[in-house]
Structure 1
Amino acid sequence: MPQRSRRAIRRLLHLSVGAIALAALAACSTRPVGPDYAVPADAVALRVHPGQSFASAGDATLANEKNLLVSNAPLPDHWWHLYRDAELNALIEKALQHNTDLRQALANLERVQAVEQEIAGSARPSLSVGGGPSYGHVSGLSVLAPGHVPSNAFGYSANAGISYQIDLFGQIRRAIEAAQAGTDAAQAAVDLTRVNVAASTARAYAAACTAGLRLDVMQHSIALQTQSADISRRLHDAGKVGSIDVQRALAQVEQLKAELPPLHASRQSALFQLATLTGEQPQDFPREVQQCHEAPRIADTIPVGDGQALLRRRPDIRQAERQLAQATAQIGVATADLYPRISLGLSAASAGRMTGLGRGDTFSWSLGPLISWSIPVNGVAHARIAQAEAGAKGALARFDGTVLNALRETETALTHYARELDRNAHLQAAREQSIQVAEEARKLYANGKTGYLETLDAERVLVNADSALAASQAHIVDEQLALFLALGGGWGVEDSGSH
């Protein structure tokens, strides 16, 4: 290529780069059309005052006592460590690594991040090249000249172009803003999935353990009733009672044994769920959990924080807020369609016969702006703006609803937890009384001072008290986990930053 052509190309490149830089500066100096995002002043989230405690926190007391069971201390990210259960910690950690729902959320986050990168590329210049060899001859009409006869020959063509859209009205900037908010919303969705996975794993583990506890209680009741049946049999053999007492006692034993299969099924169902939550097949459930017979317990008070901490921690609230920001930016994207689009481009080309490759007369170039404008006379652009504005209104309503729902869920969970603790205290007192009545009834019956119906009734009351107390202990754990789920614990800054 001649030196003159190379110098011309360098000048064109310098000119185009300088023009694009000036255009970029001009575009950045203009304010994008559409509203700038800020949380609306009338949003429900702004009505939650700093340090505002939960109304139901004061209700979380033991029956007839003033021992507070929750505190305003901040909830730790990994709240399950409060149970101080190594097996539970290991299961949740495994679930957070292998759970399929979480893997889907992470894959969706990667997709949204790629979309953001695609949109961000619109703000940078684009470069295109093309060309190739050819063989043939051009039309004779295009080379008419005295004495010129067209002939077959090898030829070539090559072209290159660089273009840049001048974002004078901020459509690209608003699109990037919307994409970034969408990525933040997808990250919040990942954190929300982590919250649900941690709570679901803890619930499945607790369900397996509490089912084991209830099985132990039922087995104990069966053992006591079997002893009572043995007493009836001995009294019958001694001629002191009729056979009907023996039949009643044996029937009560069988009635209690009938309660075992549903409890076994409940425990097995929890074990299967625990396996799938941790990414395993149902039959590969953790065998050590099958031997668990004690409900997880929290020795200390439960830290719940305050209302503002809840709004910062709940991923669904952050997701809804980011979706509102995304919808607001889309108004600017739609508004920019009212204005023309301006692109600055440079193109260069060379074409001819191979024998003339690099000659100055084979080179061409052009530099200039390209203006395109769909004049908004048919109402389409204004309709799109109205759609975007309606979408933003809906996103605000969803944001407000998510905040209100989070506060309601937390208050409800606190109330249920407190009332179940009260119920459990009454059930414990009732069981102690039932034990004394049952023991006294057995003594009276063994000494022939009362009939078996009174003893049977006392033992049924004791069995019911034992079962109700065991079920209440299971409910307490479930209400605790519902409270942790409502509080939005289960993720942290390090968790979000690692994705």
Structure 2
Amino acid sequence: MDKTLPLFTPVRLVALAAAALLAGCALGPEYAGPPEAAPQAQRSGQFVRAGDLANAAAPLNRWWEALNDAQLNRLVQQALQANPSLASARARLQQSRANLDLEQANAAPSVGASALAAHARLPPANLGALTGGSSSGGSSASSVNLYNLGVDASWEADLFGAHRRAIQAAGASAQAAEASLADVQVSLTAEVVNAYINLRDRQHRLALGEQSVQAQQDMLALTGQRVQRGTASSLDQIRVQNQLDATRAELLPLQAEREAYLNQLATLLGQEPGTLDAELNAASPLPLPPQQVAVGDPVALLRRRPDVRAAERTLAADTAKIGQAEAARYPSLKLFGVIGLGGTHPSDLTRLDDFLALGAPMLSWNFLDFGRAKARVTQAEQVRDEAEMKYRQAVLEALRDAEDSLSRFRYGRITVATLARSKASADRALELARQRYQAGTGTLIEVLDTTRQQISAQQNLLQAEANLTRSFVGIQKALGLGWGEAES
């Protein structure tokens, strides 16, 4: 006769559970770090489009201070303190940390206390009914009092690492929430700076537009005088009038955008629209970026950028959850214990030598679940695979953002240099037109037309400078700057 035990006899299950408990094993894959998502960039250690834009200095986390605008610095700090989205992200971080505390507590024993005072009325005993004979007489009902004080404890042994995996998953999720908070800070600082740049850009373009309107009004008046003297046609006057109307129409969207950016800045600072109007209505110089930008290397980018770190920590959490699902397929061992004092009189509660003590292990295993546990494992594995693909995508997006921002910044500098030369030419043309007018060889209308062209050149240069500063902001956001450990 074969004495070998079947694969899943109670004896073997207990032995398996004891061995697992002693070995401290945990089912499921061990997280070995993120996969290699951008090998070429990490091997080269440099950005393709960095060129002469980069220097050896470490990137500034408070990068907006490089723009040298004290008012902008104050706005960013106020936003970091009062922005509702940032406060919401902080709340999510506290939730994830509380969940980690909960999972750690779940792995510890549970101890409770109870007290009981009860009065029970018992029905009369009917011995005849119990014995099958007749009862010689009835018996009266009786009552009893019960008093009890007790302490109970329970603990589930972590045989297959379910609690350990749960703690690992909760810890990684908390770190992902911390990285997400940093990502909100990165986006917030970039949004505040961009809104401020756009506001200053619109204010200066409006001022230049009003100068152009004034110059065209003067041209219209002079053209009207020439029409009266017969030296110009009515068609010339209509053309100047149409040009004036077009310039006035171009100012209206700029005015609406100026108000919109004022409202945006107020809401980013957690204030009502219109709150900052008095403070920011006066035009201020447009902030310009430094000549060089410290960009570091792609490996540093992947370590620093918050959305990449959040994706990596989410991958770690989802990997640990596979172990949780695996552990649910195997038996669980729970230990129960009860100690109680009591009796039918209150004085029985003081009899320490007469107490109830109970200890009981319970081994349970839902071995016939028709594939539910296996399906949960498969589901957890697919969630983990999805998280890995999201991590790879986050890495590629981060590198693309950095490369695109560097490219825009490089060509933006070329555009600014080109338009600066165009403005210098327009300045020279205006000076020559004025000299000719003063010498009597030119007309005032030529001076006014040249003035209009010079103002247009200023507007083009201003817009290019604003675009260049926005490209600088894009680089800082792509590098994942704008947050700090102390702020998390």
Q: Which of 24, 35, 44 does residue 29 from structure 2 map onto? A: 35
| 1:106 match | 90
| 1:478 match | 470
Alpha-carbon separation, structure 2, partners of 1:149 and 1:451:
127
Q: Which of 117, 135, 154 does residue 145 from structure 2 map onto? A: 154
* Amino acid aligned to 2:167: I
* Alignment partner of 1:331 is 2:322: yes
Alpha-carbon separation, structure 2, partners of 1:28 and 1:73:
52
Pair 1:142–1:238, CA change in 2 (3 A):
farther
* Amino acid aligned to 1:57: A
| 1:175 match | 166
Alpha-carbon separation, structure 2, partners of 1:230 and 1:199:
46
Within 5 Å, give how 1:24-173 maps onto structure 2: 27=21, 29-40=23-34, 42-44=35-37, 48-49=41-42, 52-58=45-51, 68-138=52-122, 140=124, 151-173=142-164
Within 5 Å, give how 1:224-243 maps onto structure 2: 224-233=215-224, 235=226, 240-243=231-234
SS at match of 2:50: helix
SS at match of 1:134: strand
Which has the larger displacement, 404-413 or 441-450? 441-450
What is the TM-score normalised by the length of structure 2?
0.85
* Alignment partner of 1:187 is 2:178: yes
Q: Which of 488, 493, 498 does residue 480 from structure 2 map onto? A: 488
**1:448-493 CA distance string (max 9 Å, x none):** 88997x9898676545433322221221122111221111111122
| 1:274 match | 265
| 1:287 match | 278
| 1:221 match | 212
SS at match of 1:338: coil
- Return the offset for 1:241: 3.6
Alpha-carbon separation, structure 1, partners of 2:437 and 2:19:
99
Within 5 Å, give how 1:378-393 maps onto structure 2: 378-393=370-385
- Return the offset for 1:378: 1.7
Pair 1:406–1:292, CA change in 2 (3 A):
same
Contact 1:209 1:289 in 2 (8 A): no
**1:38-67 CA distance string (max 9 Å, x none):** 125x42156643771111111xxxxxxxxx
Alpha-carbon separation, structure 1, partners of 2:212 and 2:248:
9
* Alignment partner of 1:199 is 2:183: no
* Amino acid aligned to 1:324: L
Q: Which of 348, 356, 362 does residue 364 from structure 1 map onto? A: 356
Alpha-carbon separation, structure 1, partners of 2:194 and 2:382:
40
Alpha-carbon separation, structure 1, partners of 2:229 and 2:18:
107
Alpha-carbon separation, structure 1, partners of 2:43 and 2:269:
38
Pair 1:495–1:362, CA change in 2 (3 A):
same
Alpha-carbon separation, structure 1, partners of 2:236 and 2:422:
27
Number of paired residues? 461
- Return the offset for 1:72: 4.6
* Amino acid aligned to 1:172: H
Pair 1:48–1:365, CA change in 2 (3 A):
farther
Pair 1:214–1:483, CA change in 2 (3 A):
same
Q: Which of 400, 405, 412 does residue 404 from structure 2 map onto? A: 412
Contact 2:187 2:477 in 1 (8 A): yes
Pair 1:27–1:150, CA change in 2 (3 A):
same
**1:375-395 CA distance string (max 9 Å, x none):** 156211111111111111111
* Amino acid aligned to 1:174: R
**1:403-424 CA distance string (max 9 Å, x none):** 0000001100111111122122
Pair 1:438–1:230, CA change in 2 (3 A):
farther
Which has the larger displacement, 439-448 or 192-201? 439-448
- Return the offset for 1:344: 1.6
Alpha-carbon separation, structure 2, partners of 1:196 and 1:442:
49
Which has the larger displacement, 319-328 or 345-354? 345-354
Alpha-carbon separation, structure 2, partners of 1:387 and 1:482:
38
Which has the larger displacement, 73-82 or 312-321? 73-82
Pair 1:153–1:97, CA change in 2 (3 A):
same
Which has the larger displacement, 118-127 or 320-329? 118-127
Alpha-carbon separation, structure 1, partners of 2:437 and 2:255:
34
- Return the offset for 1:253: 3.0
* Amino acid aligned to 1:321: E
Alpha-carbon separation, structure 1, partners of 2:154 and 2:249:
79
**1:251-302 CA distance string (max 9 Å, x none):** 4333322222211111111000000000000021252322134211124422
| 1:7 match | none
- Return the offset for 1:237: 6.0
Structure 1 stretches of 5 or more lacking a match? 1-22, 59-67
Q: Which of 305, 309, 325 does residue 318 from structure 1 map onto? A: 309
* Amino acid aligned to 1:410: A
Q: Which of 239, 243, 252 does residue 252 from structure 1 map onto? A: 243
| 1:16 match | none
* Amino acid aligned to 1:400: R
SS at match of 1:132: strand
Alpha-carbon separation, structure 1, partners of 2:121 and 2:239:
112
| 2:344 match | 353
Contact 2:121 2:143 in 1 (8 A): yes
Structure 2 stretches of 5 or more lacking a match? 1-16, 131-137
Contact 1:128 1:161 in 2 (8 A): yes
Contact 1:217 1:470 in 2 (8 A): no
| 1:14 match | none
Contact 1:32 1:332 in 2 (8 A): yes
Alpha-carbon separation, structure 2, partners of 1:142 and 1:423:
107
| 2:11 match | none
SS at match of 1:488: coil
Alpha-carbon separation, structure 1, partners of 2:214 and 2:366:
86
Alpha-carbon separation, structure 2, partners of 1:165 and 1:45:
43
SS at match of 2:142: coil
SS at match of 2:334: strand
SS at match of 1:161: strand
Alpha-carbon separation, structure 2, partners of 1:124 and 1:384:
25
Alpha-carbon separation, structure 1, partners of 2:226 and 2:18:
102
Contact 2:328 2:373 in 1 (8 A): yes
Alpha-carbon separation, structure 2, partners of 1:83 and 1:470:
16
Alpha-carbon separation, structure 1, partners of 2:152 and 2:264:
59
Alpha-carbon separation, structure 1, partners of 2:401 and 2:352:
77
* Amino acid aligned to 1:31: C
| 1:19 match | none
Among all aligned residue pairs of Structure 1 and Structure 2, give the percentage whose two residues are the same amino acid. 33
SS at match of 1:375: coil
Which has the larger displacement, 246-255 or 390-399? 246-255
